[in-house]
């Protein structure tokens, strides 16, 4: 059993819906999930969590949702070492925003990489122009992500 923290950045609720849809998939494999729309830098070093998942949309012009901005800013200022951290990343966006498609996800991936965090599996970009329901794209990804996560844990 693992405890997985999901940090949500959302304006209209889709990234939260994705997090909610993942919970039963993880529970079916015996894992527990905690979801937060008020992410804290300390979540990344909390030993209760064996992994952190980010589900974050892009807003404005390649910007973060307002609820995610304090977390990102503090992380960028404090720059803690995250070499202990295993994380997964789901970026929500819309390819109609050609130049800034899923830019918030790209920024998170860049910063987490600089801080030494270990990404589990591939990042998922969910295109609102392609998926009316974001969770429809997230569910098959979550199965694959869990397989990677469990395989790495058993090494
Ligand atoms: C005002 C506005 C600005 C947006 N800007 C971007 C953007 O720069 N890049 C992008 O990929 N998607 C952008 N989007 C699309 C959202 O990221 C997408 O609809 C996402 O599914 C919303 O998720 P949420 O409900 O969790 O906020 C924008 C949407 C709105 C309404």
Q: How confident is the model at residue 102 (pLDDT cuts 50, 70, 90)?
A: very high
Q: What is the mean pLDDT of residues 10-20?
A: 98
Quote the mean pLDDT of the chain: 97
Closest CA to 51 of 78, 25, 14, 89: 89
Say which CATH number the domain at 75 has. Answer: 3.40.50.360
Instruction: Give the number of the atom of ligand 1 that is nearest the alpha carbon of residue 13.
Output: 25
- Residue 105 Cβ inside 6 Å of ligand 1? The answer reads no
| Domain count across the chain | 1
pLDDT score recorded for residue 146: 96
Q: Domain range for residue 87? A: 3-153
- Over residues 56-65, the pLDDT tens digits come to 999 999 999 9
- Residue 102 Cβ inside 6 Å of ligand 1? The answer reads yes
pLDDT score recorded for residue 153: 81
List the structure tokens of 25.
């998939």
């Amino acid at each position: 059993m693992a405890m997985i923290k999901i940090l949500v950045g959302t304006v209209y609720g889709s990234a939260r819906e994705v997090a909610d849809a993942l919970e039963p998939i993880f529970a079916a494999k015996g894992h527990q999930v905690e979801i937060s729309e008020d992410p804290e830098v300390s979540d990344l070093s909390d030993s209760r969590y064996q992994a952190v998942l980010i589900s974050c949309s892009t807003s404005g012009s390649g910007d973060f949702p307002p609820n995610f901005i304090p977390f990102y800013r503090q992380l960028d200022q404090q720059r803690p070492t995250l070499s202990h951290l295993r994380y997964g990343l789901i970026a929500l966006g819309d390819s109609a925003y050609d130049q800034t498609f899923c830019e918030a996800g790209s920024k998170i991936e860049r910063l987490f990489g600089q801080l030494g965090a270990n990404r589990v599996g591939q990042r998922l970009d969910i295109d609102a122009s392609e998926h009316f329901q974001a969770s429809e794209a997230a569910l098959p990804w979550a199965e694959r992500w869990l397989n990677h996560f469990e395989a790495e844990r058993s090494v």
